Amino acid sequence: MAADLSEAVKKSGNGGNPLSQKSESLTKDAFRRLLKNRAAVIGGIIIILLYLMMIFADKIAPYDYATQVLSEQNAVPPWLTKLFPVMEPYAKPPVDNPNKYILGADYVGRDLLSRIIYGSRVSLIIAIIGPLISLIIGVLYGCIAGFFGGRVDNFMMRIVDILYAFPGLLFTILLMTFFRTALSKPDPGTFGEALSFLDNSLGGMLFIIIGIGLTAWETMARLTRGQVLSIKEKEFVEAARSIGSTDSRIMFKHILPNIIGPLVISETLAIPGYINTEAFLSFIGLGVNPPTPSWGSMISDGSKVVRTYPNQTIFPALMLALTMFAFNFLGDGLRDALDPQMRGKS
Amino acid sequence: MGRYIIRRLLYMFLVILVVSVITFGLMHSVPGGPFDKEKPLPKEIIANLEKRYHLDQPLPVQYLQYLKDLAVPRISTTKFPNSIDADALFKFKIGKYYIRWVNFGPSYSSRSRTVNDMLRDQLPISIQLGFLAFSVAVLIGMPLGILAALKQNSWVDYTSMTMAIFGVSVPVIVLGPILVWIFGVSLKVLPVTGWGSKPPFALGIFSTVHGWKYWQYAIMPMFALGLSSSASIARLTRASLLQVIREDYIRTAREKGLRERSIVVKHALKNSLIPVITIMGPMFAGLLTGTFVTETIFGIPGMGRYFVNSITNRDYPVIMGTVLIYAIFLVLCNLIVDLVYGFLDPRIRFE
């Protein structure tokens, strides 16, 4: 019997000593699983490329995103006219060089390709900061509510209930308009002026981020609270308490590290939602300030002339879809890798 | 059960009340008023306009006045004049009393239209679109998810789940213009803009136009809006069904020699629906607000445009009305979801 066992151990190939088996750390293991997932890897590569494109936008983009060449309005290069024969009657390539604009120019003669490249900024920045804001607020809020329980919990969760009753998008729009107009003429030397200045230099992006971030944390708060409730009665919390740890120490040193993983994953899965919301806001004209490009506002401008110049809609739309694919694939892969039991759940 | 519903309704009422206070406070704290124009109006005119719409009164008074118009029915023995002030969503007559109830107030940006008009003429279109998109989501998503789960790891599963990921990643603002371009511009089989039915609507919501005349306008927007939700329903249905199908009671049912179909339909499906139902409530509400963009793309005369314009115009009653109506939809959806739980899983008790 014992011989069988040692035989089996030998076969498993770790030198016959089961204790010498190197245990893989959870992160390493997860990373290995992630690399096996082809879709996730492709998504990750696309995301890296997109961020590189965003960082080096001013090096890659052939033209400035705001320079208008009115004589070259709606210019279309010849290869696009071949691809979309609908444009035949309307399409005029620029006179000096027909292929001057690879993807064409928009209704005031701005290069589409350059605008698409610069437009990635908004979506890709929202994809990082939106989840970050919602994670910070939501996790703190949920932690406090779940940890203290009782009346505090009750009160805090009722507030979340109320915020839940707000139709999300309408509330985002309302908040955004509130911040934007309230700080449109700030008193000099105040915090408001700093915010307003920051917003202007970001092309109006700051208040979109604030609006989206402030409405998106409720789900995170509920999730965190649930996790905290399930973990705070565990022995190790009791042990920490018995040696006199403070509440905040227990919360941040003992509970938080144990629950943060799934929370981050669920926030990763929400990223396409943030990108979508920003595109939506820009589409209805409440997004970034012109002439700052954003894929949403480009699609909106383009869809007005989709009958004559489909290229003005289709290319930014494809970029938006590509970005969302990539984040969806990566998010799915991350979730499957870190939490194999959750595989396939949306 | 009855007591549970009543308690929930009361709680809902409270929540809506708080929502209305917050919205009211937020929109009035935004600097600027509804009558600020590019070229400023004379002071006297603004004063008159503000008096006309009671904007000169203190905010709490304005708020209470708004609530009173909204909730307290007006009863009179004589006919109401046909004016904006006396307009209401419900107008009826009991005995010799004329009753008008639920007045959402005037719209500042239009002299002749009230928010009630908007809710009568535009909201039904948005609801129709939202509901159609929701049907698309459920009718495509659930069968796809079930099929994928039953044939797990087959080509059916892989194709439908890959399609689902693509579906989730294609938002309305991408799918909409592309659909318009393919079916409206290139193939010219569907009209590019418009909506089939016009007010007045049957029972206040339903279209009076039927058949192709209605559907030719509805097909593209409802798919554009509903497809991404159908993808998330498909994924969730698949995951939840896969989990349920491994439970002991399914094995028991199989050992008893039940037919596969009745195992799936009667035993597995019902139990696997719970997580799916959970997201359906918020999803329906999301689709209702999602109609805003869809309406812009397809030129549908729904609520969307009015809400967006109302915010930039500080059209307070329109903002309040829209937010309140959609908030009511949202909480009602959640209540219905909770009630359906009890039907699907009798172990869940209402307390």
From the list A280, A306, A345, the residue facing B185 with the nearest CB is A306
Please give the backbone phi and psi of residue A294, each rounded to the nearest 5 degrees, phi first.
-145, 145
Say whether pLDDT at B103 is over 90.
Answer: no
Rounded Cα distance, B179 and B186, in Å:
10
> What pLDDT, on a 0 to 100 scale, did the predictor assign at position B80?
80
Cβ distance A284 to B292 less than 8 Å, yes or no, reads yes
> What pLDDT, on a 0 to 100 scale, did the predictor assign at position A1?
45
Which residues of chain A fall short of a pLDDT of 50?
1-2, 9, 12-16, 18, 20, 342-346
Lowest mean pLDDT among A210-214, B44-48, B218-222, B343-347: B343-347
The predicted model gives B185-193 an average pLDDT of: 86
Give the model's confidence band at B223: pLDDT under 50 very low, under 70 low, under 90 confident, else very high: very high
Rounded Cα distance, A282 and A289, in Å:
9
Cβ distance A314 to B181 less than 8 Å, yes or no, reads yes
Give the model's confidence band at B140: pLDDT under 50 very low, under 70 low, under 90 confident, else very high: very high
From the list B19, B31, B297, the residue facing A166 with the nearest CB is B19
Q: Does A212 touch chain B (CB under 8 A)?
A: no
Q: Does A311 touch chain B (CB under 8 A)?
A: no
> For residue A291, is the peptide bond before it cis, meaning its omega torsion is within 30 degrees of 0?
yes
Cβ distance B177 to A296 less than 8 Å, yes or no, reads no
| Partner B, chain A 243-302, Cβ-Cβ below 8 Å | 272, 276, 279-280, 283-286, 296, 299-300, 302
Residue bearing tokens 């999301």: B286
Q: What is the pLDDT of residues B154-165, one digit of tens each?
A: 888 888 888 888
> What pLDDT, on a 0 to 100 scale, did the predictor assign at position B269?
86
Cβ distance B331 to A279 less than 8 Å, yes or no, reads no
Q: Does A68 touch chain B (CB under 8 A)?
A: no
- Residues paired with B93 in a beta bridge: B98
> What pLDDT, on a 0 to 100 scale, did the predictor assign at position A16?
45
**A66 contacts: CB under 8 Å, gap ≥ 6:** A110, A291
Q: What is the pLDDT of residues A32-42, one digit of tens each?
A: 888 888 888 99
Q: Does A309 touch chain B (CB under 8 A)?
A: no
* Strand extents, DSSP E, A120-210: none
Q: What is the pLDDT of residues A204-229, one digit of tens each?
A: 788 888 888 888 888 889 889 988 88
From the list A177, A178, A307, the residue facing B185 with the nearest CB is A307
Q: Choose from A271-285, B299-313, B330-344 the range with maximum mean pLDDT.
A: A271-285
Q: Is the dihedral of CA B197, B201, B203, B208 positive or negative?
A: negative
From the list A173, A185, A306, the residue facing B180 with the nearest CB is A306
B interface test, pick of A157, A196, A276, A309 with most B CB neighbours within 10 Å: A276
Residue of A nearest to B306 (CA): A284
- What ipTM was reported for this prediction? 0.83
Tell which residue, A287, A211, A260, has the closest CA to residue A27: A260
Cβ distance A162 to B18 less than 8 Å, yes or no, reads yes
Rounded Cα distance, A55 and A57, in Å:
6
Q: What percent of chain A has pLDDT over 90?
A: 16
Distance set, CA A298 to CA A285, A305, B246 (Å):
10, 11, 48
- Tokens representing residue A166 in the block: 């707000």
Cβ distance A170 to B323 less than 8 Å, yes or no, reads yes
Distance set, CA B265 to CA A157, B28, B260, B262, B340 (Å):
37, 53, 9, 5, 17
The predicted model gives B211-223 an average pLDDT of: 90
